[in-house]
Amino acid sequence: MNNLHSDFTDKREEQYGFHHSVFTILFIFCWICYGNGPLQAQEVRFVQSLASPLLINPAMTGDLPGRFRVSLINRQQWSPALGAPIESYAFGGDAKFKINGEKDRFGLGILFFSDRFSTFQTHVNHISLSTSYHKSLSANNNSILQAGLQFGVGQRGVNYENFTFEDQFDGINKYNQATQEILPPNSLANPELAFGLQYKARLRADRLFYIGVSGYHLIKSQVAYYSKIINDNVPFSKENYLFRRFHLYTGMHIERQSIRYSPSFKASTQGPVSELSIGGTIRRQFYDSKISAIHLGTWLLGGNNDDGWGMKSLAAMIGTEFNGLIIGFSYDQLFHDYFKGVGGMVAFELSLTYIGNYENDFTYCPTF
């Protein structure tokens, strides 16, 4: 069923050198990423982050309990407060290929995501290709180091048709005059590059540990619309670079007969904004039912903003599995709704994941 054997503890001395090397690599990667000057920007995010793994770490490409995976996730947030939701969705697919006998694996994947706010008709689109290599570090395949690379193109735009300016006012009650504003092109494209590492180890026969780190937007990208205008009379900044985004996460999943416990922790940072997530899921497998398993999960999310650090929201998730199809639904709400009288700051997510040729291999990380 899987190729990580229970004699891991007997090989502890043999594995120590591998573990020390892996954590050294992870530390150096974090130092390079975080010590390279200011970071910038905020963008699409999902509470069910592992339902779209290529947004978290390219090293997860092909990291699945089957031969291939197709996933779709949609998030709608703050609709009651804004009148129209900020909508995000991601669609991706990846597959794994075994090489070097049964030990090493090679992954390929594709990802598309979009972030839209209909009130101002703004959008961000992104498409990328991912590749990864999963290297076994021991003779019995009890520890695996994964490295992944992702490259693609991002595109952002805004619709000017619903914009009005002061010089368009006709003096009575309409904004129907021609504007003299110097408007830049309303679409920009930029290259994308991401890199990530992930390490997994079987600690015991029923226990798997994993840790990963990744960096996105590693290419310095100009995202100021006015950068396209060659006019010294424009009184706006012509430079605005996309903030780099970094993730550090760790967790375990523990098997107890038909139940899998998966505690997890994730830290993300992008420019002046950081976010922490702590929680986990429980997966209950059924052997005599049409539903093969159910998932329950909850996460407490914190972070920093103008008010400083603090707990920001609470999220809950329920999911079900049926013949390789995994459906997840989550709900999260900002604490502002409870303590500061601000209403409507809620979000809903729906995720669909199909895993082909399901292997139920304990080597792999949780779905949600």
The mean pLDDT value for 198-227 works out to 89
- More confident site: 282 or 180: 282
Q: Is 210's pLDDT higher than 90?
A: yes
pLDDT tier for residue 364 given thresholds of 50, 70 and 90:
low
**Per-residue pLDDT band at 204 (split at 50, 70, 90):** confident
Confidence of residue 237 (pLDDT cuts 50, 70, 90): low
Of 58, 50, 71, nearest to 324 (Cα)?
71
Three-class HEC string of the chain: CCCCCHHHHHHHHHHHHHHHHHHHHHHHHHHHHHCCCCCCCCCCCCCCHHHCHHHCCHHHCCCCCCCEEEEEEEEEECHHHHCCCEEEEEEEEEEEEEECCCCEEEEEEEEEEEEEECCCCEEEEEEEEEEEEEEECCCCCCEEEEEEEEEEEEEEEECHHHCCCHHHECCCCCECCCCCCCCCCCEEEEEEEEEEEEEEEEEECCEEEEEEEEEECCCCCECCHHHHCCCCCCCCCCCCECCCEEEEEEEEEEEECCEEEEEEEEEEEECCEEEEEEEEEEEEECCCCCCCEEEEEEEEEEEEECCEEEEEEEEEEEEEEECCEEEEEEEEEECHHHHCCCCCCEEEEEEEEEEECCCCCCCCCCCC
Residue 285: band (very low, low, confident or very high) from pLDDT cuts 50, 70, 90:
confident
**231 versus 116: which is more confidently predicted?**
116
The residue among 276, 315, 310 whose CA lies nearest residue 297 is 315
Per-residue pLDDT reduced to its tens digit, 22-77: 444 444 344 334 433 333 334 677 888 888 899 999 999 999 888 899 999 999 88
6-356 classified as CATH 3.50.50.60: no
Distance CA 165, CA 168 (A): 6
Task: Give whole-number Cα distances, 315 to 84, 188, 305, 327, in Å.
Answer: 21, 34, 19, 17
Give the residue-averaged pLDDT of 115-128: 84
Sign of CA dihedral 175, 176, 181, 183: positive
Least confident stretch, 54-68, 147-161, 308-322, 341-355:
341-355
pLDDT at residue 13, rounded to an integer:
40
- pTM of the shown model: 0.80
CA distance 168 to 345: 34
- pLDDT top residue among 25 and 138: 138
Q: Whose structure tokens read 């089957």?
A: 66
Residue 78 has pLDDT above 70, yes or no: yes
Amino acid at 73: I
Q: Which residues pair with 282 in a beta bridge?
A: 261, 296
* Residue 265 confidence (pLDDT): 94
Residue 1, pLDDT > 50, answer no
pLDDT at 262 over 90: yes
Residue 365's pLDDT band (cuts 50, 70, 90): low
- Longest CA–CA span in the chain (Å) reads 85
Domain ranges of the chain: 6-356
Give the span between the Cα atoms of 292 and 340, in whole angstroms.
42
Please report the pLDDT score of residue 203 as a whole number: 86
Strand 259-270 with 273-285, pairing: antiparallel
Among 150-159, 273-282, 290-299, the least confident range: 290-299
Say which range, 99-103, 202-206, 257-261, 318-322, has the weakest mean pLDDT.
Answer: 99-103
Residue 338 confidence class, pLDDT cut points 50, 70, 90: low
Angle at 330 between CA 328 and CA 336, to 5 degrees: 170
Q: pLDDT category, 111, cuts 50, 70, 90?
A: very high
pLDDT above 90 for 246 = yes
- The predicted structure's pLDDT at residue 336: 65
Tokens found for residue 103: 């030990």
At residue 26, the pLDDT reads 44
pLDDT value for 86? 83
CA atoms within a 13 Å half-sphere pointing along the CA-CB vector of 100: 11
> d(Cα 200, Cα 174) in Å, to the nearest integer?
63
Average pLDDT of the segment spanning 8-15: 38
**Interatomic CA distance for residues 287 and 289, integer angstroms:** 6
Q: Do 60 and 96 meet the contact criterion of CB atoms below 8 Å apart?
A: no
Q: How confident is the model at residue 344 (pLDDT cuts 50, 70, 90)?
A: low
On the question of pLDDT at 249 being above 90, the answer is: yes
Residue 350 pLDDT grade (very low, low, confident, very high; cuts 50, 70, 90)? very high
Q: Is the pLDDT of residue 353 over 80?
A: yes
Higher-scoring residue by pLDDT: 7, 263:
263
How many C-beta atoms lie closer than 10 Å to residue 329's C-beta?
14
Please say whether the dihedral angle defined by the alpha carbons of residues 35, 38, 40 and 46, taken in this order, is positive or negative. positive
Distance, CA of 12 to CA of 23 (rounded, Å): 16
Q: What backbone torsions phi and psi does residue 352 show, to the nearest 5 degrees?
A: -130, 130
